[in-house]
Structure formats: structure tokens, C-alpha cells
Amino acid sequence: MDVTKEQILVVDDEEDLRQAIVEILTVEGFDVHGVASAEDAHEMLSQTAYDVLITDNNLPGKQGVELLEETLMRYPETVGIVITGYGTIETAVQAIKKGAYDYLTKPFKLVELSIMVRKGLKERRLRFENQYLRSQLKSKFSFDNIIGSGRSMARIFELVDTIAGLNSTVLIQGETGTGKELIAKAIHFNSPRKDQKMVSINCGAIPENLLESELFGHVKGAFTGAVTTRIGRFEQAHGGTIFLDEIGNMPQLLQVKLLRVLQEREFERVGGNSTIKVDVRIVAATSSNLEQMVKDGTFREDLYYRLNVIPINLPPLRERREDVPLLVQRFNAQFCDTHKLELKTMSPQVVKALMGYDWPGNVRQLENIVERMVALTGNRTAIMPSDLPSEIQNRDGMNYVPVIEIPEEGINFTNVVTDMERELILQSLRKANGNKKLAAKLLNLKRTTLIEKIKRIGLTEHMAAATTA
């Protein structure tokens, strides 16, 4: 049997018809076998998962639909085709209910059967491909709170998906705010350790004299204030994952002790002499350049190589600007829900401005800015360019050119232009705190011209002053 070809089993007690079907499908390039009874078919099916089962409905001792039903219980992806000499609606309905892909009524042309087989196999192949793609998308992009559609993030998703099931140590490197802890959580919660604890500690946020106790615990009386024995983070993470954030800030004395844990998976509590063994996976992260620190002598080279078994380098947000709109959508929905507000819309100019910004604080900064805009716009449902923070509005070359789609019924040109003019004037007055001279300067207009426009478009001085309230 040629397993590289799609395999077909033909079951029919009419020898001439059975042989004809076998011959034409063999010519078509399939690996085809024919038998005369359900009993013989069972024997063949016990040895091979056939891609296609073609069976006559009237077999000695058993109906073909019954044989098909039994086959599908064992091999649910088999394409079943039932041949009937009666052609009643009841027979067809019964065959389909039992799981048949389709049926043919005698007499039929052999080419019809060939076309039906290829169609059934094609549909099965497409179904497999769709299921595979869905499973891939689920495994690669189901990591909670991680957004990314560009190539750089897709590669990271793929890497995380590949290594999640391993026990190898991982080093995540990236600027502050790029989401290193989210990646660490994705690794843990997509691993066999997901039902155990993930324990996190920021090595740069704890004073040097307390960090050792936090990591490894201490015994009663180990130092002043140690009134009871305390379990450290490594013991808490036994069976699970420990996330060592900002590992580059770890003092060199502790780096030596951490190296032993990485090598032996054992340590002593501070002040104790009993060796404690732990089963933990270590995921470390840093915004520092550890390679440079090794060269400078501030980070141990042997520890660096122990940590850097599987490196993951997170790109800054400015290098994956295509993800900004997706992140904005997520944060907008998240904060509107948190503040019990109606979902807000972001004008195209706002999104364009956000994509053009360099984001020194990366995703964390974007998240904060979206929350600020959502909160400060209150019950207003549209977020406009004037709602952007000053550091983005004042960027060199910033220019808000509205994107307007003209509907089939057309627009009122005068009204649209007036609305745009009103928005620009309101923005300038807000930024100038109501100072018309400064507002005019922002718009590259004369002060008298601005005052005329305020009057013309109906923004009285009282209304204009209200914009700064």
C-alpha cells in the first residue's frame, strides 16, 4: 500500500462494477482496494485509515450506511460515498444522516464518481487547513493582553509558542515599557507549569540588603528583625516559574548565589545551613544591555550565559508602529469599560498622530495616554486631535489634515469647512489659555483676522472664553 497516495476502499458485491471503479480511480492516481462484503471491509479498515470509503448500500448481511457509520466512529475524517440502486429520498437522507459526504444512484457514470471523490477530498483538505490555521492562531496569538500583528511580534509569538513547553531558562530583553512581564506570563501560562505559581520579583525595586532574603528566605534570628523563619520567592515558585525582572540591577554578591541556583537548583536560606532543592523555571528580564555590563565588569559573564539560554528581544514601539492602532483599540475598550463609559471613537488624525510619535515609554506610555484621553473626554464619545497631550500635539511637523469621506448623497461643503475652522480655533484658544494674540500666532493669523473669524462662525467671546474653563 502506497501511503504517499490518498487511499480508497471500494465495497461492492457486484464484481464488474467494483473492478471498474477500482480501475478508473487507480488511473486517477489513487491507491485503491476493492472488497465484496462488509466483513472484508472491516478487516481492511482494521489495518488502514482509508481516506475515502465507497460502499454499495445493499451488501450481503449489512447495509452500506451501517458500514459507513461504524467506519466514521473509528475514522471520523473518512469521506464516505454511498451507492444505491433505489434512489429514494429516504435512502439519501439516511446516508447523509449517518455521515456520508454524498451518494450516487445506479446507474451512474464513473466520471461522476471520480469528480465526487476529488470534491470530497478537496473539502476535507480545506477543512483541515482551516482547523490548522485556527489552532496556530490560537496558540500564537491567544496570549492575554499581548497585541501585535507585525512581523517582529509574530516571530516572538512563534518563539514563545515553541519554547513554552520547555524548562530552559529564558532572558527577555527590551526597553522599559515594552511588555517583558507579559511575555513572561505568556511563557508560563502556555506551559505545563501553568497550574502552578508564577512568582515575580523586581530585582531593582528591593534594597540590596533585603533582596537576598526576598529571593531565598531566611531562618529565625538570621538578622535583626528576623523574628520568624521566612520562605523566599524561589521556594514559593516550586513547581512553577520565577520571573526575575530587571536582573541587571542584581548586586554582584547575589549574582554568585543565583548562578548556583541556575546550575544546581538548590540554595540555603539566609542564616541557615540546610540545602533546599527547588524545581523552578527561571525567566529573567532586563532593560539593561547585559553584554555591555559584562564588558564593563558589572555583571558576571558566567551568569549572563546561564541566563541567556533562550533570548527574546522585544522591539520598542517605534519599531512596530503598525501595532499602534490595535493597541489603541484594546486600551480604548479596556478603559471605557473600566470607567463605565460608552465606547469612544478615535478620529483618524488621532491615530495618525499616535503612530507618528516615537514613544520613549513604549507600550506603557501609550496605555497611559489612551487612559488619560478616555478619562478627560468624559461622556463625549469622539476623541479628537485637541484631546492629545501636548508632547504629541507640539511635535515638529505635526499637522492635522482631516480625512473626510464623501458619502453618495454628498456633503455641505460650507458647513464642513466651517466645522473644521471652528475646531482649529478652539484648539488654538485652549492651547493659548484664551489669549487671542497667542492663539492667532499658533494659527499663523493676525489677531484681528482671528477675532473676525470667531465672530463669523458664531464663536462669541463668551463662548471662546468657555473653552478654557
Q: What percent of the chain has pLDDT over 90?
A: 45
Confidence band, pLDDT 50/70/90 cuts, at residue 405: low
Per-residue pLDDT tens over the stretch 195-249 = 888 999 999 899 888 999 999 999 888 888 888 888 899 999 999 999 999 999 9
More confident residue, 34 or 48: 34
pLDDT of res. 131: 60
Distances (CA, A) of 6 to 33, 51, 72, 119, 268: 11, 6, 17, 13, 61
Q: What percent of the chain has pLDDT over 70?
A: 88
Smallest CA-to-CA distance from 326 within 342, 340, 341, 346 is with: 346
Q: What is the mean pLDDT of residues 68-79?
A: 87
Per-residue pLDDT tens over the stretch 427-440 = 888 888 888 888 88
CA distance 64 to 105: 13
- 3-state SS, residue 54: strand
CA distance 232 to 428: 56
pLDDT, the chain, mean: 85
Tell me the domain boundaries of the chain.
Answer: 7-132, 151-315, 319-393, 413-466
The domain over range 7-132 is classified in CATH as 3.40.50.1980: no
> Whole-angstrom distance between the N-terminal and C-terminal Cα of the chain?
84
CA distance 89 to 303: 75
Confidence band, pLDDT 50/70/90 cuts, at residue 167: very high
Domains 7-132 and 319-393 share a fold: no
- 3-state SS, residue 242: strand
Distances (CA, A) of 464 to 417, 436, 440: 19, 10, 13
Residue 140 has pLDDT above 50, yes or no: no
At residue 409, φ and ψ (nearest 5 deg) are -80, -5
More confident residue, 46 or 387: 387
DSSP 368-416: HHHHHHHHHTTT--EE-GGGS-HHHHTSTT-------PPPTT---HHHH
Fold of 151-315: Rossmann fold (3.40.50)
Q: Which CATH number fits domain 319-393: 1.10.260.40, 1.10.40.50, 1.10.8.60, 3.40.1260.10?
A: 1.10.8.60
Q: Which amino acid is at 379?
A: N
pLDDT of res. 145: 60
The CATH classification number of 413-466 equals 1.10.10
pTM listed for this prediction: 0.56
Q: By the 8 A CB rule, do 309 and 170 touch?
A: yes
CA distance 359 to 177: 10
